[in-house]
Structure 1
Amino acid sequence: MDLLKLEKIRESLQNSLEKITPFEQCALLDYPDYFNIGDHLIGLATIFYITDVIKAKINYIASIDDFSEQRLEQRLSKEAPLILQGGGNLGDLWPHHQLFRERIIAQYRDRSIIIMPQCIYFTNDENLNRAAAIFNSHPNLTLFTRDDYSYQLALNHFYNCQVIKAPDMVFDMANMPMPAYQFNSKRPILYLCRDDTELEKIFSPSALGIPNLVVQEWDNSPKQWIYRGRGRFGELKEWYWRLPGMVLLVREGWQRGLAHPKQWLPRQKWERFHPYARKFDGISDSFIPRFSWSLMHAGVYQLLQSRLVITNRLHGHILSTLLGIPNILLPNSYYKNEAFYETWTYQIPYCKFVKQPSQVKESVEELLSLFAGSSK
């Protein structure tokens, strides 16, 4: 692993984030209540930065669906800023997130608002112009962008905002203690392949020409976990989950125990004894980031079962990079992956970006040769 180059990206992130005006408390909005592990990694990194570096309290955490104006006003002082989650959904490809973001910016002009590092993509000029009008009408809006393309677009259209370029928030966890990756030629090659709106269809598993390729999405098992008898951060499940001890028995005894015995012990160490696990104790609604912490372990465990990762998920690439796993990033449906790689991770020697399916096999062989030689 090239620690110096990873640290260089982390320093770029921290230098950019230093431009945030210090505050004592805040709200963190658009927090994920779905099972995209990448967005939970961003959320965790944001929480750690706010609490460890800014030394501020997060008095309110809310997803789009459980946001409450009343709870926000009850928990926050008048001068406290609103922090909007970073990621890759600023634009009209994921309209649910963008419409919520525009609603918050339009409604809370009396509060400073900070949008953490985002990629920007609009397919429709009318949607871009509407967003620009809302953003530019806010008197104190800071927008972090996480690639050169998004940065230039923001400078051109969001001219009344403070626009700052920064890497993805997850790079702030570059120094976090992680399970060690060890190259093992007997482990499979993983294709972590998204199957949603951002899929670039020419990169089908068969098109890559890699024998015995393991094809997965982010670990699906967390989607079945039961937490406190509730669904997505609030919806009550059937009555029998109210029986004392029933949720704990099913979740820990079966879903997260007997059904996945190899993961049980490392997950216990991660959730109970990892030094970062203590950081949630002083956070309001600490159940929400602890949920993210469990998902992070699922993602880490999944990637570490492979000797090399091929992925079209940006955070499959980022997390593999932090773990020191050789990885190949493929295009998504628009410029996001390529723009991020060319702005930041091009400098990491065990990462590659491949533009055509026919080039993947050669890049796999090159990376495996590099790691096989260094492990002798």
Structure 2
Amino acid sequence: MKKIKQIIWDLAGETAQKKYMYAKLRKSDDYRRLLHAVDHQESVCPARRVFLLDTPGHGNLGDHAIVIAMRKFMQAYFPEDEIYEFTFDECTYCMEKIAGKIRQNDLLLIPGGGFIGTLWQREQENVLHILETCAEFQIIIFPQTLYFDMSANGEKELERFCAALKKCKNVSLFVRDKKSFGFAKEKGIDQMAEITLVPDIVTWLPCKLKKQGRRQKKVLFCLRDDLEKQADTKVLESIKRELVVRGYEVLETSTVSGRNISKQEREQSVREKLEEFSQAELVITDRLHGMIFSAITSTPCIAMDNLSRKVSGGYEWLKYLEYIQMVEPETISMDSVKKMLDYNGKGYSRQPLEQYYGKIKHSIRLEEA
């Protein structure tokens, strides 16, 4: 059924697709609020409106957690701002309509993640579309991993990204790992946008869970099955068997849902996943947000790297946490698993990272001035 719907959608053509999506956009709560604010201008409109653009509708809970953290971050430090959120699909088909409602003193936020580059082409296209459509406005891109492969296509996509940045009046690009930061400097991206190195914004997210209590004797395996996977399946299967012999319940989980998640379902879906992590004795993962979810729920974790190296990049921010261990995929062993299962120390504190969150606040405050 899903494939049939996609075929029908593709056959409809761009004009019909845009017309359909604009009709949906007009019914959305955020667009209705925006139209009301535009109609009444300063009488009901705050000094600054914040447009949260390109938010996910897919099932990646890490990406949804980023948006939750962004919204809570803005509400905590900039409560006077009014936030209007528009999804990936709304921005793909209706960006010109949305841009027509933006004022010069408004602020545009693009979520963090790992989609700038050649790994996720549709997401990359949408970022370029937003930058090109909204070049005259103030834009902040929350912490990203940059990954452009070493191919002719990689060079072309990098050129397109740089060309879009050059057109922009005021862009701040936060990156979440040293590799991305070095790449931005090497390629001269810092000449087109302000580049700042900070942690993934989910590390800021307050984690208060109703079901958080005594941990159960279980180990979660949260592993990729996409083009970024590098983990050695045979080694991990051997570890699973030994855990079962030792009386542990071994469960496979994922930070990617098997279905699309709407913005209305976002908070509950992420909360349920965090509660699942918090009840385990150990998480073994090659997903960045598998590691970060473990960190913020104070759950011991063994993390392995992926293709874009964003897991090891994220670990650099979290290595002060004794219950988070980083290993190369080929070196994970039962000895390292037993060591982490025995952990009984302190839980999560974001205090060592506060100075970096301050850089994000500073950038947003400058846009406000």
* TM-score with structure 2 setting the length: 0.71
Counterparts of 1:341 and 1:28 in 2: how far apart (Å)?
27
Structure 1 pair 366/34, CA: closer, same or farther in 2 (3 Å)?
A: same
AA matched with 1:62: F
Instruction: Determine helix, strand or coil for the equivalent of 1:119.
Output: strand
Contact 1:59–1:75, Cα closer than 8 Å, also in 2: no
Counterparts of 2:104 and 2:329 in 1: how far apart (Å)?
52
What is the CA deviation profile of residues 142-197 of structure 1, one whole-angstrom value per residue up to 9, with x for unaligned ones? 100001111111123212211111111112224x423475564x521110112122
AA matched with 2:61: I
* 1:55 aligned residue: 79
Counterparts of 1:27 and 1:100 in 2: how far apart (Å)?
15
* 1:214 aligned residue: 251
Q: Does 1:193 align with 2:223?
A: yes
Counterparts of 1:324 and 1:217 in 2: how far apart (Å)?
18
* Residue of 111, 131, 144 corresponding to 1:85: 111
* 1:238 aligned residue: none
* 2:274 aligned residue: 300
Counterparts of 1:111 and 1:101 in 2: how far apart (Å)?
14
AA matched with 1:144: F
Deviates more, 1:46-55 or 1:28-37: 46-55
Give the structure, 1 or 2, with the largest relative contact order (CA under 8 Å, sep 6 or more).
Answer: 1
* Stretches of structure 2 lacking an aligned partner (at least 5 in a row): 1-46, 245-249, 348-369
Q: Report how far residue 332 of structure 1 moved.
A: 1.1
Alignment size in residue pairs: 287
* 2:186 aligned residue: 156
AA matched with 2:59: F
* 2:138 aligned residue: 112
Q: Does 1:365 align with 2:338?
A: yes
Counterparts of 2:238 and 2:332 in 1: how far apart (Å)?
10
Counterparts of 2:346 and 2:50 in 1: how far apart (Å)?
49
* 2:314 aligned residue: 340
**RMSD in angstroms over aligned alpha carbons?**
2.6
Q: Report how far residue 207 of structure 1 moved.
A: 5.3
Q: Report how far residue 37 of structure 1 moved.
A: 0.8
* 1:178 aligned residue: 209
The percent of aligned pairs where both chains have the same amino acid is 24
What is the CA deviation profile of residues 57-87 of structure 1, one whole-angstrom value per residue up to 9, with x for unaligned ones? 3442122212223552465433212110101
Instruction: Determine helix, strand or coil for the equivalent of 1:116.
Output: strand
* 1:96 aligned residue: 122
Counterparts of 1:334 and 1:194 in 2: how far apart (Å)?
13
* 1:273 aligned residue: none
Contact 1:329–1:352, Cα closer than 8 Å, also in 2: yes
Q: How does 1:1-376 map to 2 (within 5 A)?
A: 24-67=48-91, 68-69=94-95, 71-73=97-99, 75-123=101-149, 124-157=154-187, 158=189, 159-174=191-206, 176-179=207-210, 181-182=212-213, 184=215, 187-203=217-233, 205-206=236-237, 208=239, 210-212=242-244, 213-218=250-255, 220=257, 223=259, 233=262, 288=263, 290-342=264-316, 344-371=317-344
AA matched with 1:190: L
AA matched with 1:54: F
Q: Report how far residue 220 of structure 1 moved.
A: 4.4
* TM-score with structure 1 setting the length: 0.70
Instruction: Determine helix, strand or coil for the equivalent of 2:265.
Output: helix
Contact 2:52–2:85, Cα closer than 8 Å, also in 1: yes
* 1:248 aligned residue: none
Counterparts of 2:229 and 2:100 in 1: how far apart (Å)?
41
* Stretches of structure 1 lacking an aligned partner (at least 5 in a row): 1-22, 224-230, 234-287
Counterparts of 2:155 and 2:100 in 1: how far apart (Å)?
38
